[in-house]
Amino acid sequence: MRQRSRLTALALAGFVVLGAGSIASAPPAAAAVTVGDVVVTPTADGLEDGFGRLVVDVSLQSGEAIPDQIFNGVHDDVWSVQMERIDEAPWATSAERPEQYFGWFGLTRVSGTATDGVWRGTITATPWHTGRWQVTQIETYAFDAVDLGDRDIVIELGDPVAGPPWVTQPAFGTPVKVVTGNELWTPRARVTDRSAGTSIRAPWTPWRGGDPFNLPQSTLPVGTPLQQADAGGYLTLPAQPVVGAGGELDRPFVHVYGRYGSRGYAWHAATALFPYVKWQANSRFAVSGRTVTVTGNAWPAPAVYDAANTNIHLQRLVNGTWVTVATSNVRESGRYTLTWAGPAGQVILRIYKPGGSEYYGLDRSEGTKLASVTLTLR
């Protein structure tokens, strides 16, 4: 698999991580700031009603005035007080990459003075944030980052073992044969109850990854136009080219919400969708004495679309069982070469191009087996 961009890796690992940094450069730091008490209320919320209001109060002291409103991003969209997940999300399926970072954006002074006061931030947690979190740092335009990891401020959201009530997973259909990358595929997923496996007619919305400043919202107000899964829990996006306008990794995400009456919608689940690709191949056999050389092409060529697993095998039929005798890789151009020195006599050979899966099973391919050939080696 060719090296893929860090932004894409972040998007697939946590459906985009905002707390990793900002594209904006901060102004020169003010006078040194002392961070006193950092209090999160509450430290546990079962999210039974789909929402959890978390308040952080930060005591700050400085020799120079601190603005009444402080934040850590040119658009107030990078966390000022950051938490990191400290569990391994045992509830997560292979198709889920739970959020790894969470936190408070802007902070507003609620008491004291500009040089000795308390600044407050409020966020709403949802079932998708289920897990155990620890406050790790505070950083704003007013002062440099301060490590809070040694203060053991731990917050528990939802049921960290059972997980959110719903799960969303890709629904793979018939694999697509790809030659040019312009072939169409239809992204599809299914929403089910995590414990019972029954279908959920859940509200959902699509989102395309790649822009960390354009994330889906954790909560949405009443009246937000959302699509709805069908009676079987299936949700389907319009057909689109295997290689999207944004390149090979221009992949759609689906975000599922629970409806809570007048309170609006809360984020419940998410997954990324990749094309399910069918490998194709041809082969040309050449014999020189007891040496067999096989050349050919496999589709999709990795230069067109990097389908999972570029391995290709030469197999020999031995006592009714196909045994791999040589292995190579499909080159960027789609061409491959396999060489094997066999025993004298008649042999039955074939090319086997296996499929595979990557990105935690989200990116899949199906293999192909070519017709066998009988050769005589001397």
Does the pLDDT of residue 8 top 60, yes or no? no
Does the pLDDT of residue 24 top 50, yes or no? no
Angle subtended at Cα 41 by Cα 37 and Cα 47, rounded to the nearest 5 degrees:
150
Mean pLDDT of the chain: 90
Does the pLDDT of residue 3 top 60, yes or no? no
For the chain, percent of residues with pLDDT exceeding 90: 82
Mean pLDDT score, 98-124:
96
Q: Which amino acid is at 236?
A: T
Interatomic CA distance for residues 366 and 73, integer angstroms? 44
Phi, psi of 95 (to 5 degrees): -90, 0
Q: Are residues 120 and 110 in contact, defined by beta-carbon separation less than 8 angstroms?
A: yes
The tens digit of pLDDT for each residue in 151-180 reads: 999 999 999 999 999 999 999 999 999 999
Mean pLDDT score, 22-50:
78
Q: What is the pLDDT of residue 5?
A: 34
Q: What is the pLDDT of residue 369?
A: 98
Does the pLDDT of residue 10 top 90, yes or no? no
Confidence of residue 13 (pLDDT cuts 50, 70, 90): very low
Angle subtended at Cα 85 by Cα 44 and Cα 97, rounded to the nearest 5 degrees:
115
Q: What is the pLDDT of residue 31?
A: 58
Non-local CB neighbours of 196 within 8 Å, separated by 6+ positions: none
Confidence of residue 246 (pLDDT cuts 50, 70, 90): confident
Mean pLDDT score, 122-145:
96
The tens digit of pLDDT for each residue in 176-226 reads: 999 999 999 999 999 999 999 999 999 999 987 655 445 678 999 999 999
Q: What is the pLDDT of residue 321?
A: 98
Q: What is the pLDDT of residue 23?
A: 34
Helix ranges, the chain (H): 6-14
Does the pLDDT of residue 250 top 90, yes or no? no
Does the pLDDT of residue 73 top 90, yes or no? no
Six token digits for residue 327: 């292995």
Q: What is the pLDDT of residue 264?
A: 96
The tens digit of pLDDT for each residue in 261-315 reads: 999 999 999 999 999 999 999 999 999 999 999 999 999 999 999 999 999 999 9
Q: Which amino acid is at 51?
A: F
**What is the pTM assigned to this prediction?**
0.83
Q: What is the pLDDT of residue 50?
A: 96
For the chain, percent of residues with pLDDT exceeding 70: 89
The tens digit of pLDDT for each residue in 233-244 reads: 999 999 999 998
Does the pLDDT of residue 93 top 90, yes or no? yes
Interatomic CA distance for residues 161 and 172, integer angstroms? 27
Interatomic CA distance for residues 325 and 317, integer angstroms? 10
Q: Are residues 229 and 202 in contact, defined by beta-carbon separation less than 8 angstroms?
A: yes
Mean pLDDT score, 329-351:
98
The tens digit of pLDDT for each residue in 175-188 reads: 999 999 999 999 99
Mean pLDDT score, 145-149:
96
